[in-house]
Amino acid sequence: MNRRSIALRRLSAFAGGALLAAGLAWPSAPALAQAPGAVLIRNATVHTAGAQGTLHDTDVLIQGGTIRAIGKALAAPAGAQVVDAAGRPLTPALFAGITGIGLEEVSGESPTVDNAVSLADQPLRPEFDVTLAYNPASVLVPVARVEGLGFTLLAANAGKGFVAGQGGVVRLDGSADPVGPRALFVGLDAGAAELGGKSRASLWMLLEQMIAETRGRMPADSPHALLTPAGRATLARYLNGQGRIVVRIDRAADIRQLLRWAERERVRVAIAGGAEAWQLAPQIAQARVPVFVDALVDLPASFDQIGATLRNAALLQAAGVEVGFTQSGDASHNARKVRQLAGNAVANGLPWEAGLAGLTRVPAQALGVGDRLGSIAVGRSADLVLWSGDPLDVINTAQQVWLGGHAMPMRSRQTELRDRYLQGSGESGLPPAYSR
């Protein structure tokens, strides 16, 4: 038996044997076909993440999956469920960051990872779309959802080319289809340079040729062509402003080149990472480019991050940049940590309201779904979270999550394991594994 077969057998034994033998079932995606009943959330501290700001002792009425009314002392419709928030915070469902939730189950087992294409003969394939592989029944969906996370941007990762492919926003409610426009993922950092001629200058050279092909300045049948017909059609949409190009980039010098390129080509870009973005904050603000930062990057993990600082988010926001959050590490399996990023940014000078906006309104608007997600307003989808306390303080937890007006089961693989091993055994009160 080969090593992969052994690994899969062990995984199966754990997942199917240990959990099921214990009488535990992983939570399945909720059935959303039936319209949810009315819900009235009373006496909440409503952080709208929008123009209304924070509203105290306020009610929110949910009907038909959307927010129908916001105000004080709202009347409950007949048969409505009434939830007394008792002054606790109510926020929009949070953005999980740029992740591979639903695209990977076991990151170290390649058959369970679907976020990259690696074609040696033609590595630059912008038409590659990871949303086609999204699995709404992934065990990572409820793991993220019980932490108050309601939507994420599925990312295409680089295989053999610096143009990784496309992704899109998915809601973590069990629905299978992405919402809003697609996003194109491009790497223009030191790591991407290894995939494009081992020079950052070569990345720009190849990118310029791709644009020339797409805009007909180079014959499509040229033996030096980089793109397929489908790739040219895909890239043309982004060059025409249809969708956001998300660029993985950290170094200030590279960001300066990106801003010049985006202005020249009239494309809509967003920065992911941006460890040194604060050094160009006024220029980024003027270009209206959102930045998704990892607020915990304060030490250089590479030469691209020499200027990293915990004040990155605060300095960008003070200059007028729209700041969102994403993790640079294991974002799929530890998506819950995105709240810590926002909290750390607030601890280092970012206004609290901007910290919440970076997890709600900013990513929703940047990714073309701000008319549905990311804020609490009449007509928006009822994607809401009731918290035990300040959502940017990780000591607090999500008490209830509603997505599209449906109360989500507050259970996941992790809560099932927790409850299993917290059950006492005999007089010792210890879990069975610790009994003698």
| Residue range 324-337, pLDDT digits in tens | 999 988 899 999 99
- Rg of the Cα trace of the chain? 23
Q: From 373, 395, 423, give the residue that closes a domain.
A: 373
308 and 418 assigned to the same domain: no
Report if residue 396 sits inside a domain: no
343 and 418 assigned to the same domain: no
Question: In whole numbers, what is the pLDDT of the chain averaged over residues?
Answer: 88
Q: From 341, 373, 405, give the residue that closes a domain.
A: 373
The CATH number of residue 165's host domain is 3.20.20.140
Rounded to an integer, the average pLDDT of 385-408 is 97
Calculate the CA dihedral of residues 11, 105, 297, 369 and round it to 10 degrees.
Answer: -160
What pLDDT is stored for residue 427 in this prediction?
A: 63
Axis-axis angle for helices 252-265, 200-214 (nearest 10): 10
What pLDDT is stored for residue 425 in this prediction?
A: 55
Strands 406-407 and 66-71: unpaired
Give the residue numbers spanning the domain of 421.
3-26+413-434
Which amino acid, one-letter code, is at 30? P
419 and 360 assigned to the same domain: no
333 and 429 assigned to the same domain: no
SS (H, E, C) 342-367: HHHHHHCCCCHHHHHHCCCHHHHHHC
Rounded to an integer, the average pLDDT of 23-51 is 75
Report if residue 292 sits inside a domain: yes
Report if residue 334 sits inside a domain: yes
199 and 291 assigned to the same domain: yes
Q: From 373, 402, 425, give the residue that closes a domain.
A: 373
Positive/negative CA dihedral, 68, 61, 151, 97: positive
Across the strands, what pairs with 167? 183
303 and 425 assigned to the same domain: no
Q: By three-state DSSP, how is residue 262 classified?
A: helix
> Tokens 């904050």 belong to which residue?
281
What pLDDT is stored for residue 30 in this prediction?
A: 55
Cα distances (Å, whole numbers) of residue 36 to 39, 62, 151, 220, 404: 9, 9, 19, 51, 8
pLDDT at 74 over 90: yes
Q: Categorize the per-residue pLDDT at 115 as very low, low, confident or very high, splitting at 50, 70 and 90.
A: confident
Rounded to an integer, the average pLDDT of 40-54 is 97
Q: Categorize the per-residue pLDDT at 28 as very low, low, confident or very high, splitting at 50, 70 and 90.
A: very low
Report if residue 109 sits inside a domain: yes
259 and 137 assigned to the same domain: yes
Q: How many independent structural domains does the chain possess?
A: 2
What pLDDT digit, counting tens, does each position of 129-145 carry? Answer: 999 999 999 999 999 99
What pLDDT is stored for residue 119 in this prediction?
A: 76
What pLDDT is stored for residue 434 in this prediction?
A: 56
Rounded to an integer, the average pLDDT of 215-219 is 90
199 and 333 assigned to the same domain: yes
What pLDDT is stored for residue 12 in this prediction?
A: 40
Phi and psi (nearest 5°) for 76?
Answer: -85, 125
More confident: 202 or 194: 202
417 and 275 assigned to the same domain: no
Phi and psi (nearest 5°) for 104?
Answer: -140, 145
Alpha-carbon distance of 43 to 104, in angstroms, equals 40
Rounded to an integer, the average pLDDT of 115-124 is 77
Q: In 64-148, which ranges are E strands?
A: 66-71, 81-84, 89-92, 94-99
Nearest to residue 359, comparing CAs of 131, 287, 387?
387
**Token pair for residue 87?**
């002054």
Report if residue 132 sits inside a domain: yes
pLDDT at 430 over 80: no
Rounded to an integer, the average pLDDT of 81-103 is 97
Report if residue 35 sits inside a domain: no
What pLDDT is stored for residue 222 in this prediction?
A: 87
429 and 356 assigned to the same domain: no
Report if residue 321 sits inside a domain: yes
10 and 145 assigned to the same domain: no
What pLDDT is stored for residue 19 in this prediction?
A: 36
Report if residue 291 sits inside a domain: yes
What pLDDT digit, counting tens, does each position of 342-370 carry? Answer: 999 999 999 999 999 999 999 999 999 99
361 and 417 assigned to the same domain: no
